[in-house]
Chain A
């Protein structure tokens, strides 16, 4: 237990008046990261469930790992495929190339976001809230692997401050922090996150990969929106061997994460299921009555689910407990509308092929209203009882 002793020894430095007091939140963060805090309850219940927000956030990060690992592999795969060198590249060539391409984005995301979190925690004399552990892991997964680091840093800073901290931190934000990061890039720097040149890394990294002169690789959805065929089979789209944001391409990898989230009960199966239901129904509606000559409207429902980050959004973003509807009945409505809205945006507005992001952000705004209506039914029932 020498580590414990060491922590106890240096602790006074971080207390009020200690010479390292400015880093108190950092110390506490690491101490509670290493050891379960052994403070005991002062009032109220004398025993507590072992489940806490740290455990919850870590479970989500674990669930994201398959998508992250596959995403790294796919970044390498796309580069080699575009250069026509797929045959020569080994599995590990592809993976390490992608790893090196994605890692700086992961680091920037965490460093910028956590620095803000730690500063705010120190300033407000609060404990560090671990919500950003998940947001920081999701952000590199929902941007292209070519996204410039400075733009990512600006976007992360913007979203952590303006989408979360000004509302009071994790649990008080009404918009999904990771999606606001993406939306910020999407509207402020549209050229780095849309079009057909950003989805594949075009240069070598540490001797891995290949230099490519002229890239033209649209996402399947982007291609469909402009009326051309992307040439990817549904199997490619399902397995994830398509250009796109790092972690959103593989249905299989996302499904592994979904299994963990559903099994541990951290993500709501109601939200998840109803997003898919909404998406499928809306796709079928457009298949039957969609506008003539619109390739996205004619896209079969199963393809809709495989492309454009639909699964990633449904599993990891729509189910964010803070920004989604909080009532059980509200979750059905909230999820269904996300799915339906995502397909609607894709079909009706070719400028925004990635309808999932906008649909979730839109429904984030409406989630409180949905809950209000659900809770109001209970309130009315109670009022009626009194009136009798």
Chain B
């Protein structure tokens, strides 16, 4: 039986547009793309030319600094374009899919008989290694490191996030194979939710199992690591999303890099919020066309509302996005005298809004407005209430803003990722861009330490 860890701090934001538990299977999208920006910390070097044919599982680009890390095409087809931006930065590599999908055959393998090194090589070859991220710095893992451990969180507690137990249906075997495979690389820990009952999760093999109870960010892998065994200076741990563990399982069970995944299409502006089976990198228009309430004054988010990126229908499903959210943009709303109006229907952690009068189960409509100006940090303890790690977030943020590397280290920057600060950013009355600040701090530190 897994040890249960209860988190007292945190906040569940209840938004309108929870996905219904039915699955729509999507046909092939017009185009697919990999965007190197999704893979933080990588310097991409394209290895394909336009009009070249690729199979699913064939490399589109590699990391200049670690050429063995390949980023492979999710579909077979013809490379339509390699899009570059300012200073020839690679923005995306677009593939037009074949009607009949062809996969690179990596050959089925029995995980039990493989060594950690062999598993790692198989993952590097198939491009699935690119789904490992590392702490510190929250960047794509370096294959030359030997991590202290690998952490997987099997639930996503962010607003409207897909239920992994639903995503897991039909993939149970692959998930367990994936876990067994990565456990060969390093001791692996699986963090499950105390409310999850699927035996694939509650009786997962070859992993250390911990159950977490509490509001968001209980599902954030960073919080789980901090509670189980925090990352110290000089140590490296890897993290991987549970959906990517399924990809890894498929690689060994079926011999192909099949990046088909189940995502949630959710949010207030979606007509029928539900789950969809798509291939990673699909064009968002193929997911959203005919499913939106309106076409203007909406915000399409590649991912969830807290850490996702603002997108358009012409963008592509992010490599790490397990959902697409559509909420009102709010740029057409003019709210009179907001500082004094009671604002009954506004969600807030502060009881200065009278929404606490309504039942706790109520779901709220929240748009993308910042609803205030950026200020210096004024209120104290705001972040603490939603930050269940053994870290003083305010002090860490101040150390990052002032660029004090010694203090950043002392206050625990090696343990955090920008996503851990997403809730702090949501509740912040000073409206500071905390995730950007943390990202810049991590990048500076990484450059400094290199």
A51 to B352, CA, bound (A): 8
Flag if A38 contacts B426 (CB, 8 Å): no
Given contacts A50-B346, A53-B375, A385-B232, contact A59 B352 (CB under 8 A): yes
Which of A28-36, A139-147, A273-281 forms part of the interface with chain B?
A28-36
Flag if A49 contacts B301 (CB, 8 Å): no
A33 to B336, CA, bound (A): 9
Flag if A40 contacts B411 (CB, 8 Å): no
How many A residues, CB 8 Å from partner?
A: 58
In the complex, A382 has a CB within 8 A of chain B: yes
Secondary structure at chain A's binding surface: helix, strand, loop or mixed?
Answer: loop
Secondary structure at chain B's binding surface: helix, strand, loop or mixed?
Answer: loop
Q: Which residue in A1, A44, A170 is a CB contact (below 8 Å) of B435?
A: A44
Closest to B392 in A: A375
Flag if A169 contacts B339 (CB, 8 Å): no
Q: Which residues of the partner chain A approach B422 to less than 8 Å between Cβ atoms?
A: 44-45
Q: Which residues of the partner chain B approach A326 to less than 8 Å between Cβ atoms?
A: 380-381, 394
A322 to B309, CA, bound (A): 32
In the complex, A52 has a CB within 8 A of chain B: yes
Q: With a 10 A CB-CB cut-off, give which of A44, A265, A325 has the most chain B CB atoms.
A: A44
Q: Which residues of the partner chain B approach A371 to less than 8 Å between Cβ atoms?
A: 395
Q: Which residue in B305, B338, B347, B379 is a CB contact (below 8 Å) of A45?
A: B305
Chain B 385-404, CB within 8 Å of chain A: the 1/0 string?
00000111011000000000
Flag if B371 contacts A379 (CB, 8 Å): no
Flag if B392 contacts A54 (CB, 8 Å): no
Q: Which residues of the partner chain B approach A321 to less than 8 Å between Cβ atoms?
A: 378-381
Given contacts A46-B327, A47-B366, contact A385 B230 (CB under 8 A): yes
Flag if B376 contacts A168 (CB, 8 Å): yes
Chain A 362-378, CB within 8 Å of chain B: the 1/0 string?
00000000010001001
> Within B284-337, which residues are at the interface with A (CB < 8 Å)?
299, 301, 305-310, 325, 327, 329-337
Q: Which residues of the partner chain A approach B232 to less than 8 Å between Cβ atoms?
A: 382, 385-386
Flag if A52 contacts B380 (CB, 8 Å): no
In the complex, A58 has a CB within 8 A of chain B: yes
Flag if A53 contacts B378 (CB, 8 Å): yes
In the complex, A181 has a CB within 8 A of chain B: no
A268 to B380, CA, bound (A): 9
In the complex, B26 has a CB within 8 A of chain A: no
Given contacts A268-B381, A385-B232, contact A40 B330 (CB under 8 A): yes
Flag if B305 contacts A378 (CB, 8 Å): no
In the complex, B25 has a CB within 8 A of chain A: no
Closest to B409 in A: A382
Q: Which residues of the partner chain B approach A56 to less than 8 Å between Cβ atoms?
A: 350, 352, 378-379, 429
Q: Which residues of the partner chain B approach A38 to less than 8 Å between Cβ atoms?
A: 330-335, 369
Flag if B370 contacts A327 (CB, 8 Å): no
Given contacts A40-B368, A44-B436, A46-B368, contact A51 B378 (CB under 8 A): no
Q: With a 10 A CB-CB cut-off, give which of A33, A129, A375 has the most chain B CB atoms.
A: A375
A322 to B376, CA, bound (A): 10
Q: Which residues of the partner chain A approach B198 to less than 8 Å between Cβ atoms?
A: none
CB distance from A340 to the nearest CB of B (A): 22
A32 to B431, CA, bound (A): 15
In the complex, A48 has a CB within 8 A of chain B: yes
CB distance from B261 to the nearest CB of A (A): 22
In the complex, A88 has a CB within 8 A of chain B: no
In the complex, A84 has a CB within 8 A of chain B: no
Flag if B431 contacts A52 (CB, 8 Å): yes
Q: With a 10 A CB-CB cut-off, give which of B310, B377, B380 has the most chain A CB atoms.
A: B380
How many B residues, CB 8 Å from partner?
A: 75
Flag if B371 contacts A265 (CB, 8 Å): no
A378 to B375, CA, bound (A): 27
A116 to B422, CA, bound (A): 35
A40 to B369, CA, bound (A): 4
A171 to B376, CA, bound (A): 5
Q: Which residue in A34, A168, A171 is a CB contact (below 8 Å) of B430?
A: A171
A49 to B275, CA, bound (A): 27
CB distance from A175 to the nearest CB of B (A): 15
Given contacts A171-B377, A321-B380, A326-B381, contact A37 B372 (CB under 8 A): yes
Q: Which residues of the partner chain B approach A379 to less than 8 Å between Cβ atoms?
A: 410-411
Q: Which residues of the partner chain A approach B301 to less than 8 Å between Cβ atoms?
A: 46
A129 to B309, CA, bound (A): 29
Q: Which residues of the partner chain A approach B327 to less than 8 Å between Cβ atoms?
A: 46-47
Q: Which residues of the partner chain A approach B340 to less than 8 Å between Cβ atoms?
A: 58
Flag if B371 contacts A36 (CB, 8 Å): yes
CB distance from B373 to the nearest CB of A (A): 4
Given contacts A48-B426, A52-B431, contact A41 B370 (CB under 8 A): yes
Q: With a 10 A CB-CB cut-off, give which of A168, A170, A378 has the most chain B CB atoms.
A: A378
CB distance from A7 to the nearest CB of B (A): 9
CB distance from B151 to the nearest CB of A (A): 17
Q: Which residues of the partner chain A approach B159 to less than 8 Å between Cβ atoms?
A: 47
In the complex, A4 has a CB within 8 A of chain B: yes
Q: Which residues of the partner chain B approach A33 to less than 8 Å between Cβ atoms?
A: 337, 339
Q: Which residues of the partner chain B approach A40 to less than 8 Å between Cβ atoms?
A: 299, 329-331, 367-370
A35 to B373, CA, bound (A): 12
A36 to B370, CA, bound (A): 9
Chain B 334-366, CB within 8 Å of chain A: the 1/0 string?
111111100100111111110000000000001
CB distance from A155 to the nearest CB of B (A): 23
Beyond known contacts A46-B306, A171-B376: 8 more, CB 8 A cutoff: A44-B434, A47-B159, A47-B367, A52-B339, A53-B429, A264-B351, A268-B380, A375-B392
Q: Which residues of B contact A (CB under 8 A)?
A: 13, 15, 159, 230, 232-234, 299, 301, 305-310, 325, 327, 329-340, 343, 346-353, 366-381, 384, 390-392, 394-395, 410-412, 422, 425-431, 433-436
